[in-house]
Structure 1
Amino acid sequence: MDIVKEDIIRLLNHKNRPLTIDELFSCDYLSYAERSQIYFALESLTKQGLIRKDYQKQDMPVYYT
């Protein structure tokens, strides 16, 4: 597993609440990664079943462990 995926899982576990994609993009902890890397990692982790994805609103996904 690459570092971006590992850091996303750590962050979601630490926050202990669902985070929107905008919150993840603006998080200092992930500031080293490009948006495309974060998005790809989120989709990959979701497909692998390591994180969950729901929608607060129709176009606003939230991610959580």
Structure 2
Amino acid sequence: MNSQADVYVVRVWHATEDAPFRATARAIDQDQPSLFTSGRDLAVFLASRPEAVVDAGSPNPGASS
């Protein structure tokens, strides 16, 4: 098992009438980001990278698992 995980920078823009969803994601060691126009596409992109760990935060960070 690979002990190193890639780190991704993900940016999501506020929805507008012209662009209801827009996000970019890139590995920190890459220059070119990938553009996404749906949340589903972004989720599929991140889920397809088993080495990536996605942490959206915890609603209760003090709780133990």
TM-based fold match above 0.5: no
Relative contact order (alpha carbons < 8 A, sep ≥ 6): 1 or 2 greater? 1
If the length of structure 1 is used for normalisation, what is the TM-score?
A: 0.30
Q: Which has the higher helix share?
A: 1
Task: Please identify the structure whose Cα radius of gyration is greater.
Answer: 2
